[in-house]
Chains A and B, each alone.
Chain A
Amino acid sequence: MLTKDLIGRIAEKTGQSKKQVELLLNTNNAILRESLMAGKTVQLQGFGALEIKERAPRTIVHPRTGERTVSPGKNQVVFRPAVNIKDELKKF
């Protein structure tokens, strides 16, 4: 499903205009991005949480040349679904 369809559905459900929903969604995304970039965990009630996980640097070996290099660490976005949603979708 694409953003368009999602906006249409939300607009239908809440009775808001599509434009407003789009605006809300965009601002919401912006907020989420900012907070994630700030290293904050974003909690979406009843759905889950978007977390930042720190990946430590590690040495990697080139499989062909056997060259050893260090891959720099990075922060990764991880989605941790809420327990009820997780279970709901598990056996879906």
Chain B
Amino acid sequence: MAEKLSWTDLRRILAKRAGVSEKEANAFLSALTDELVVALKEDKQVKINGLGMFKLQAVAPRKSVNVVTGEEFTIEGYNKMVFVPEAGVKELIEGLEGGNESVDPIKKLDTQAEEIVDILGELGQSPKEEAAAEPAPEAPAPEPEPVFVAPAPEPEPVYVAPAPEPEPVYVAPAPAPEPAPEPFVFTSTPKKEEKKKKEHHFLRDVLICVIILLLLLCCAYFFLREQLGGLIDSFLTNKPDSEIVVPADTTSQVIAEPVDEAYQPANMEAEELTEEQILAEFLEASGDLEDAETPEDQIYEDLITIEPMHEASRLAWMAKRFYGAKIYWPYLYDANKDHITNPCLIEVGTPIRVPRLTPAQKDTTNAQTMATLERLRLEGEAACGH
């Protein structure tokens, strides 16, 4: 491998092969090397067909540390010349094992094969050994810790025990339990922590509950303040005041709805207790009244029904319901004017006679009936106070 193809040898062989003088060959070679340098400077790479490529590779600057002083300094970047052989050439050269010697490579291959087998054997074993070795140190590692911990508490009670106690047999078991609680202390510490944590959690929960309750109370106070205001006032002030306050409210209600308040008590009594009775009495009386009325103006031959006055009802609405039009309401007034003083304000529950009208009485085209209707209407309106 130490063989060299020197410059002079190259020059000689080149001259011989190319059929030129050594001078010319020398000139060519020197020109080649010079031009290679110049070309590298220009293009940073020179390709020579049939041989390979000379390249100029840039090496980036990097930081380093002075080993002695520990100072940091940068190694400046530089260019590096690299030769990359052509693919064919590379394969030809790489395929060679040991250059000229044709016998040695085979021997080498044999020895290499043996070496490789050895290496593979080592590689195959080494991971197992490593695997076996790794768990071994790991397993003992945790063991020594408890071993070291355990003896520590034990000797103390052992030394303490013999001193005070003359009886060794019964005392000996005594220290034995003592070391036991100590490990328990170690185990119980996390329990204590847990307890503490639980206490903290409990306290936190209680606080949250209290806060929520307070908030609810505040809300309730704000919403019910107006309603409770009267009660609070009554509590703050004397009882008579509260009594005065309550009637004041009722009076205000009366003022707001005077009509209802005035009628309702009567209504309820009349409707609940004596409605039917009143109707019955009225029916009995009506016969006499009809007799009395008939001579006057109108003759109502028959009654459809006797209906107690409803709340929020009017004679006009009843007229519409029974006769089909509001304009016939004066007939209703006329039939009931014996006990109705004001047709605009009839007490609820007052029985109203609803007479059956003849076709002539309903005939709006008839001037006579219209005249009577008009008269009755004016009469009723007069009673209303309009």
Interface residues of A (CB under 8 A from B): 1-3, 5-6, 9-10, 13-14, 16, 20-21, 23-33, 35-48, 50, 52, 54, 57, 59, 68, 70, 73-79, 81, 85-86, 88-92
Residue numbers in A under 8 Å from B25 (CB-CB): 24
B312, CB-defined interface residue at 8 Å: no
Tell me how far the C-beta of A4 lies from the nearest C-beta in chain B, rounded to whole angstroms.
9
Known contacts A46-B30, A75-B94; is-contact A24 B20 (Cβ 8 Å): yes
Residue numbers in B under 8 Å from A37 (CB-CB): 92-93, 96, 99
Q: Are B78 and A40 in contact, CB atoms less than 8 angstroms apart?
A: no
Bound together, the chains give a CA A11 to CA B48 distance in angstroms of 15
Bound together, the chains give a CA A26 to CA B34 distance in angstroms of 18
Partner of A31, one of B4, B7, B14, B99: B14
Return 10 A-B CB contacts under 8 Å, by A number: A9-B35, A13-B31, A14-B28, A24-B20, A36-B89, A43-B7, A68-B120, A89-B79, A90-B80, A92-B41
Bound together, the chains give a CA A89 to CA B95 distance in angstroms of 32
B180, CB-defined interface residue at 8 Å: no
Residue numbers in A under 8 Å from B116 (CB-CB): 57, 59, 70
Chain B window 1-31, contacts with chain A (Cβ cutoff 8 Å), 1 for yes, 0 for no:
1011111001001100110100011011111
Known contacts A10-B35, A13-B35, A44-B29; is-contact A2 B47 (Cβ 8 Å): yes
> For chains A and B in complex, what number of residue pairs have CB atoms within 8 angstroms?
180
Bound together, the chains give a CA A44 to CA B333 distance in angstroms of 145
B69, CB-defined interface residue at 8 Å: no
Known contacts A48-B81, A52-B99; is-contact A3 B49 (Cβ 8 Å): yes
Residue numbers in B under 8 Å from A6 (CB-CB): 32, 35-36, 39, 46, 48
Known contacts A1-B39, A13-B31, A47-B33; is-contact A77 B14 (Cβ 8 Å): no
Residue numbers in B under 8 Å from A85 (CB-CB): 37, 81
B85, CB-defined interface residue at 8 Å: yes
Partner of A86, one of B39, B81, B83, B100: B81
Residue of A whose beta carbon sits closest to that of B42: A1
Q: Are B47 and A77 in contact, CB atoms less than 8 angstroms apart?
A: no
B51, CB-defined interface residue at 8 Å: yes
B54, CB-defined interface residue at 8 Å: yes
Bound together, the chains give a CA A1 to CA B44 distance in angstroms of 8
Bound together, the chains give a CA A6 to CA B20 distance in angstroms of 20
Bound together, the chains give a CA A69 to CA B7 distance in angstroms of 42
Bound together, the chains give a CA A39 to CA B4 distance in angstroms of 9
Residue numbers in A under 8 Å from B96 (CB-CB): 37, 39, 52, 75
Residue numbers in A under 8 Å from B45 (CB-CB): 1
Q: List 18 additional contacts besides A31-B10, A75-B96, A76-B94; criterion CB under 8 Å.
A: A1-B43, A1-B46, A3-B47, A3-B48, A3-B49, A6-B46, A9-B38, A24-B20, A28-B14, A30-B17, A33-B50, A35-B5, A39-B98, A43-B5, A43-B6, A57-B112, A70-B120, A73-B97
Q: Are B83 and A73 in contact, CB atoms less than 8 angstroms apart?
A: no
Q: Are B28 and A16 in contact, CB atoms less than 8 angstroms apart?
A: yes
Residue numbers in A under 8 Å from B34 (CB-CB): 13, 46
Bound together, the chains give a CA A26 to CA B18 distance in angstroms of 9
Residue numbers in A under 8 Å from B1 (CB-CB): 39, 52, 54
Residue numbers in B under 8 Å from A89 (CB-CB): 37, 40-41, 56, 79, 81
Bound together, the chains give a CA A86 to CA B56 distance in angstroms of 10
Bound together, the chains give a CA A43 to CA B6 distance in angstroms of 5
B:285-320 near A, CB below 8 Å: none
Bound together, the chains give a CA A36 to CA B91 distance in angstroms of 12
Q: Are A16 and B24 in contact, CB atoms less than 8 angstroms apart?
A: yes
Residue numbers in B under 8 Å from A91 (CB-CB): 78-79
Tell me how far the C-beta of B310 lies from the nearest C-beta in chain A, rounded to whole angstroms.
98
Bound together, the chains give a CA A22 to CA B10 distance in angstroms of 17
B175, CB-defined interface residue at 8 Å: no
The winner among A70, A74, A75, A76 for most chain B CB atoms within 10 A is A75
Tell me how far the C-beta of B56 lies from the nearest C-beta in chain A, rounded to whole angstroms.
6
Bound together, the chains give a CA A41 to CA B3 distance in angstroms of 6
Q: Are B93 and A36 in contact, CB atoms less than 8 angstroms apart?
A: yes
Q: Are B5 and A29 in contact, CB atoms less than 8 angstroms apart?
A: no
Tell me how far the C-beta of B152 lies from the nearest C-beta in chain A, rounded to whole angstroms.
46
